[in-house]
A = this chain, B = another copy of it.
Amino acid sequence: VVSAGTYGYRMDLVTLDDIRAAAENIRGLAVRTPVLPWLAGDGLALKPECLQPTGAFKVRGARHAVACLPADRRAAGVITHSSGNHAQALAYAARAVGVRCVVVMPEVAPSVKIAGTRALGAEVVLVPPAERESRMAKLAAERGLSPIPPYDHRDVIAGQGTVGLEILEDVPDVDVVLVPVGGGGLASGVATAVKALRPSAAVVGVEPEFAADARDSLAAGSVVRWPVERAYQTIADALRTPLSELTLAHLSARLDGIVTVSDDEIRDTIGRLARSARLVAEPGGAAAVAAYLYHRAELPAGRTVAVVSGGNLDPQLLRSLL
């Protein structure tokens, strides 16, 4: 565990009130997931965000960010360049309020992701990978679209923080919350809610060994980016992204530590969750559970909840793990 909290970054951090406002906004669109006792997990409980529409917690932040836009900007539509779970979540959130959503994707994106995003009513613009950001900026300016990034955004972080709020509602005496860290939006929001409501509880981030850039960033006090060829080794595609300045500031102030897990541990955990928790988790979604199963000695003791952050898994991979 690398201890955090000593990093002196000054930035306007999300507050508990921001998260409470998000909880109002997401009602009816995001599912109020329960906390599941997991008999095979020997004291571990699960927060199954893989059950959200579009299969990940991302719908919370996307919905809240769309809701927070001034009415005239919202009416003009939104845009993003994620090709992962955030893209489908934003398309879903935009469709729910009847506004246009444009998703800029690399030409090499899997056709199933392109089709999935289109099926939710979004316009998909395919570009060479290096042009994603510039094309998004250009389209946003031309069409008056509001960019909603996957994690580098206060409203998105506040939306993801509702996961922490709900954990505290259901398990007020929780001692440890385990949360996967990719770009850090989920961990930032969850840590904000949990530490505000129960300072004695520990919030621990979980990363794949192959993409432990958040651990390094917290230790360095600045955003450390791992080379793409290194981070892309991990099976946990949702956790390959680096932090942003904003999420680093949140995690520095509010996260109690980081634990890393191996890809083999993640694979084994996916099979165990399917067999005995009746949940299909994607690799990034299983990471926090893997930390509990394989690294308990590195964790604080006590009543623990792990966030199963997503479930968009290649069926062939699941098949191979059963």
Q: Which residues of A contact B (CB under 8 A)?
A: 31-34, 36-37, 39, 48, 50-51, 53-55, 92, 120, 271, 274-275, 277-281, 311, 315-316, 318-319, 322
Residues of B contacting A53 in the complex (Cβ-Cβ under 8 angstroms): 36-37, 39
Q: Tell me how far the C-beta of A61 lies from the nearest C-beta in chain B, rounded to whole angstroms.
A: 18
* Residues from chain B with Cβ under 8 Å of A278 in the complex: 50-51, 55, 279-281, 311
CB within 8 A of A280: which of B32, B33, B92, B279?
Answer: B279
Between-chain CB contacts (< 8 Å), 7 pairs: A39-B120, A51-B278, A51-B279, A274-B318, A275-B315, A278-B281, A315-B322
Docked pose: A201 CA to B275 CA in angstroms: 35
From A271, which residue of chain B is reached at the shortest CB distance? B315
How far apart are A180's CB and chain B's nearest CB, in angstroms? 16
Copy tally for this chain in the complex stands at 2
Give the nearest-CB partner of A50 in chain B: B278
Residue of B nearest to A320 (CB): B319
- Chain B residue numbers with a CB within 8 Å of A280 are 274-275, 278-280
Chain B hits for A319, CB < 8 A: 319, 322
Q: How far is the CB of A95 from chain B (nearest CB, A)?
A: 11
Q: Are the C-beta atoms of B311 and A322 separated by less than 8 Å?
A: no
Shortest A273–chain B CB gap in Å is 9
A32:B34 contact, CB within 8 angstroms: yes
**Residues of B contacting A275 with CB < 8 Å?**
280, 315
Q: Point out the residues of chain B lying under 8 angstroms from A315, CB to CB.
A: 271, 274-275, 322
What chain B residues lie within 8 Å of A277 (beta carbons)? 51
B34:A54 contact, CB within 8 angstroms: no
Distance in angstroms between the alpha carbons of A271 and B31 in the assembled complex: 22
In the complex, chain B residues whose CB is within 8 Å of the CB of A281: 278
Known: A51-B278, A278-B281, A319-B319. 20 other contacts (CB 8 A): A31-B34, A34-B51, A36-B51, A36-B53, A39-B92, A50-B278, A51-B277, A51-B279, A55-B278, A274-B274, A274-B315, A275-B280, A275-B315, A278-B279, A278-B280, A278-B311, A279-B279, A315-B322, A316-B322, A322-B322
Q: How far is the CB of A201 from chain B (nearest CB, A)?
A: 20
Nearest-CB residue, chain B, relative to A276: B55
- Chain B residues lying within 8 Å of A322, measured Cβ to Cβ, are 315-316, 318-319, 322
Contact, CB under 8 Å: A34 / B37: no
Cα of A142 to Cα of B315 in the assembled complex, Å? 52
Most buried by B among A55, A278, A322: A278
Cβ of A50: which chain B residues have Cβ within 8 Å of it? Answer: 278
* With contact pairs A51-B278, A315-B275 given, residues A34 and B33 touching in the complex (Cβ less than 8 Å): yes
The residues of B that contact A279 with a CB separation of less than 8 Å are: 51, 278-280
